[in-house]
């Protein structure tokens, strides 16, 4: 696993541009996108209080940062498969499981740093510090671990079974946009049309954003344990499927 | 001692028999070459022997380990230089090697010294910190060799190691492979469609065609199996292409010359020479031993 983490760090931060690339999207989304929308949307209502849209959107962006791992792990596995790096890893003393966990740990750490950065910018923009209780902080970390595991595993599964580049692009188009728009990332699902609300309730990103938002704003939904349980189940299924599917990797 | 033994190894993709009923033994310390055209089943064979693909049927033993059962142990015995470069384009030469050393749990201090030695030997020390994208095809191949040499495993598999490399580069790579294989007593499987490469490196050669092993032996044994001599005769005026034999001897045409295979080396050639001289003015006569190309063509059933 050490080798994989070392490679991830080297490849990601090999140059200043690499580091900029990693943090450009979250910074622009909170600085430009959320700030612009906050002017249009005004205040958002969450149970018990009215908040600025930036504060509402920031936890959604945490969820999006984990969701982003779907495309990242999907693409990197496809690339490593095509370039033969997976063959080299499979025949080494490390294994494909080390590859999986090494990448997971690195992406988890990187996502955590991105989330901290978003939090910092949000605090600077809004001028207030989130009121994290210890319990909420723990729940926040659990949500982070689960959501990274879900999207990372699903991306790996895609990379293992979908080799064709054109098909990969189709999957990205059919998954990324619909899932973000049918979740609570940008807005609450209560005001969505009924059918889209039903879709949103089948979307793990909804629960991820709800839990992040609940922890961050200290307004956990009444059914947060149910939402957390749903995430646990999805994590267990996707992780098991991805780890089992590693033996199906084509060299 | 036998390093690799395959028993009726098959790999089928639907109706396509990529490898069919392969039975062979490879001795420890031997450089064994799989030779054949593209799609002949060479790469599929090495993919099965390196555990990267499961056989459809049959089995093999690699250093006494059962291919179907002990595949994890077998992976620790094999170093593979794949046909593709299998190099991380975002890492430098030395970082690619370091990544591999970390994958192999090598001691980093010892590794670093060894990597320097190997890079010097492969004329890559100046490129140590270079971006992979700046390396030529030959340098990339040598970098792959460096990775194989670092691993120090008893079975080394080269899949087209000089693909896309110029002639001088090929000589260099062949010399290095030979040197390391002999020094370290590696068992080497070399997969190629380059006859010169096979002839230069192989202790034994296995010819593959359409997934089937059609001939096996040392280069000399194989050449001797194509009996006799090849006589190439060039005329001032090339004979008609319709000419298919001279007396009892079948002939083939080669750029205006005719090539005659004489199986019996003790035969009296005067009647043949008389018949040849009747065809016109002879400007050149060459008598050659069959090459590996001739062996391959004969094995395929082509008329020489």
Set of chain A residues whose Cβ sits within 8 Å of the Cβ of B93: none
Give the Cα separation of A190 and B223 in Å (integer): 82
Q: Which of A2, A91, A93 should one mutate to test binding to chain B, selecting the residue with the greatest count of B CBs within 10 A?
A: A91
Q: Is B100 helix (H, G, I), strand (E, B) or coil?
A: helix
Chain region(s) in chain B for CATH 3.30.70: 225-300
pLDDT digits over A117-147, tens only? 999 999 998 888 887 888 899 999 999 999 9
Cβ–Cβ gap A7/B99 under 8 Å: yes
pLDDT band at B267 (very low <50, low <70, confident <90, very high): confident
Set of chain A residues whose Cβ sits within 8 Å of the Cβ of B161: none
Beta strands at B16-27 and B65-66: parallel, antiparallel or unpaired = unpaired
pLDDT band at A4 (very low <50, low <70, confident <90, very high): very high
CA distance to partner chain A, nearest, from residue B201 (Å):
24
Q: What percentage of chain B carries pLDDT values higher than 70?
A: 98
Closest residue in B to A102 (Cα–Cα): B103
Which residue of B47, B86, B105 is in closest CB contact with A85?
A: B86
pLDDT digits over B185-230, tens only? 999 999 998 888 888 899 999 988 888 888 888 888 888 777 677 7
Dihedral sign (CA A39, A40, A41, A43): positive
Cβ–Cβ gap B88/A6 under 8 Å: no
A66 has pLDDT over 90 = yes
Q: Which residues are bridge partners to B247 per DSSP?
A: none
B262 has pLDDT over 50 = yes
Chain region(s) in chain B for CATH 3.40.50.300: 2-223
Chain A 89-118, CB below 8 Å of chain B: which residues?
Answer: 89-94
Top mean pLDDT of A55-59, A224-228, B139-143, B285-289 is at A224-228
pLDDT digits over A69-126, tens only? 999 999 999 989 988 899 999 998 888 999 999 999 999 999 999 999 999 999 998 8
Which residue of B79, B103, B147 is in closest CB contact with A89?
A: B103
Q: Please give the pLDDT value at position B302.
A: 59
Give the Cα separation of B94 and B85 in Å (integer): 15
Chain B 18-37, CB below 8 Å of chain A: which residues?
Answer: none
A233 has pLDDT over 60 = yes
What pTM does this model have?
Answer: 0.82
∠ Cα A152 A26 A34 (to 5°): 125
Mean pLDDT computed over A223-228: 93
* Yes or no: domain B2-223 corresponds to CATH 3.40.50.300: yes
pLDDT digits over B40-78, tens only? 888 899 999 999 999 999 999 999 999 988 988 999 899
Set of chain B residues whose Cβ sits within 8 Å of the Cβ of A10: 90-91, 95, 99
CA distance to partner chain B, nearest, from residue A120 (Å):
31
Q: Is A162 helix (H, G, I), strand (E, B) or coil?
A: coil
Q: Please give the pLDDT value at position A15.
A: 77
Mean pLDDT computed over B238-257: 84
Q: Please give the pLDDT value at position B304.
A: 46
Closest residue in A to B71 (Cα–Cα): A91
Set of chain A residues whose Cβ sits within 8 Å of the Cβ of B52: 87, 90-91, 251
Give the Cα separation of A119 and A99 in Å (integer): 30
Q: Please give the pLDDT value at position B301.
A: 66
Cβ–Cβ gap B99/A90 under 8 Å: no
The rounded mean pLDDT for chain A is 90
- What tokens does A141 get? 């970390």
Chain B 145-204, CB below 8 Å of chain A: which residues?
Answer: 147
Q: Please give the pLDDT value at position A220.
A: 86
Q: Please give the pLDDT value at position B148.
A: 87
Q: Which of B71, B102, B145 should one mutate to test binding to chain A, selecting the residue with the greatest count of A CBs within 10 A?
A: B102
Q: Which residues are bridge partners to B27 per DSSP?
A: B2
Set of chain B residues whose Cβ sits within 8 Å of the Cβ of A84: 82, 84-86
* Yes or no: domain B225-300 corresponds to CATH 3.30.450: no
Q: Which residues contact B300 (CB under 8 A, 6 or more apart)?
A: B209, B214
**Alpha-helix runs per DSSP H in B89-166:** 93-103, 108-121, 137-151
Cβ–Cβ gap B100/A14 under 8 Å: no
């Amino acid at each position: 696993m050490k080798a994989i983490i070392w490679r991830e760090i080297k490849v990601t931060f090999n140059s200043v541009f690499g580091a900029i690339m990693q943090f450009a999207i979250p910074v622009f989304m909170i600085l430009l996108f959320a700030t612009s929308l906050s002017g249009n949307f005004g205040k958002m209502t969450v149970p018990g209080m009215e908040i600025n849209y930036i504060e509402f959107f920031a936890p959604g962006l945490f969820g999006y940062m984990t969701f982003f791992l779907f495309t990242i792990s999907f693409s990197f596995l496809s690339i490593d498969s095509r370039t033969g790096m997976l063959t080299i890893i499979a025949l080494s003393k490390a294994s494909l499981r080390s590859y999986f966990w090494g990448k997971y740990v690195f992406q988890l750490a990187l996502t955590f740093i991105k989330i901290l950065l978003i939090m910092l910018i949000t605090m600077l923009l809004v001028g207030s510090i989130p009121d994290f209780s210890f319990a909420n902080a723990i729940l926040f970390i659990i949500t982070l671990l689960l959501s990274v595991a879900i999207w990372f595993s699903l991306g790996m599964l895609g990379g293992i079974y979908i080799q064709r580049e054109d098909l990969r692009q189709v999957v990205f188009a059919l998954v990324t946009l619909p899932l973000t728009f049918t979740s609570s990332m940008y807005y609450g699902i209560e005001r969505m049309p009924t059918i889209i609300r039903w879709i949103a309730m089948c979307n793990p990103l909804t629960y991820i954003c709800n839990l992040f938002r609940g922890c961050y704003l200290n307004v956990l939904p009444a059914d947060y344990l149910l939402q957390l349980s749903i995430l646990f189940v999805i994590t267990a299924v996707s992780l098991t499927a991805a780890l089992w599917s590693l033996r199906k990797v084509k060299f | 001692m036998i390093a690799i033994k395959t028993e009726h190894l098959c790999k089928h993709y639907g109706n396509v028999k990529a490898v069919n009923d392969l039975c062979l033994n490879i001795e420890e310390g031997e450089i064994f070459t799989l030779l054949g055209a593209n799609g002949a089943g060479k790469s599929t064979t090495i993919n099965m022997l390196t555990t990267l693909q499961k056989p459809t049927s049959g089995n093999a033993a690699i250093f006494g380990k059962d291919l179907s059962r002990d595949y994890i142990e077998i992976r620790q015995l094999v170093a593979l230089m794949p046909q593709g470069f299998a190099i991380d384009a975002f890492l430098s030469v030395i970082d690619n090697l370091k990544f591999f050393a970390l994958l192999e749990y090598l001691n980093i201090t010892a590794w670093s010294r060894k990597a320097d030695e190997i890079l010097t030997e492969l004329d890559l020390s100046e490129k140590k910190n270079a971006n992979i994208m700046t390396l030529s095809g030959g340098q990339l191949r040598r970098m792959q060799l460096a990775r194989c040499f670092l691993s120090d495993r008893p079975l080394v598999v080269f899949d087209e190691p000089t693909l896309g490399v110029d002639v001088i580069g090929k000589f260099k790579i062949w010399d290095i492979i030979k040197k390391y294989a002999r020094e370290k007593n590696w068992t080497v499987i070399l997969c190629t469609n380059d006859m010169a490469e096979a002839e230069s490196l192989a202790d034994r050669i296995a010819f593959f065609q359409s997934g089937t092993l059609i001939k096996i032996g040392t280069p000399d044994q194989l050449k001797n199996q194509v009996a006799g001599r090849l006589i190439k005769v060039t005329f001032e005026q090339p004979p008609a292409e319709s000419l298919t034999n001279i007396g009892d001897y079948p002939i083939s045409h080669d750029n205006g010359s005719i090539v005659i295979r004489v199986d019996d080396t003790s035969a009296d050639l005067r009647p043949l020479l008389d018949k040849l001289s009747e065809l016109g003015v002879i400007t050149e006569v060459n008598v050659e031993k069959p090459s590996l190309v001739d062996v391959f063509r004969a094995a395929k059933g082509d008329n020489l």
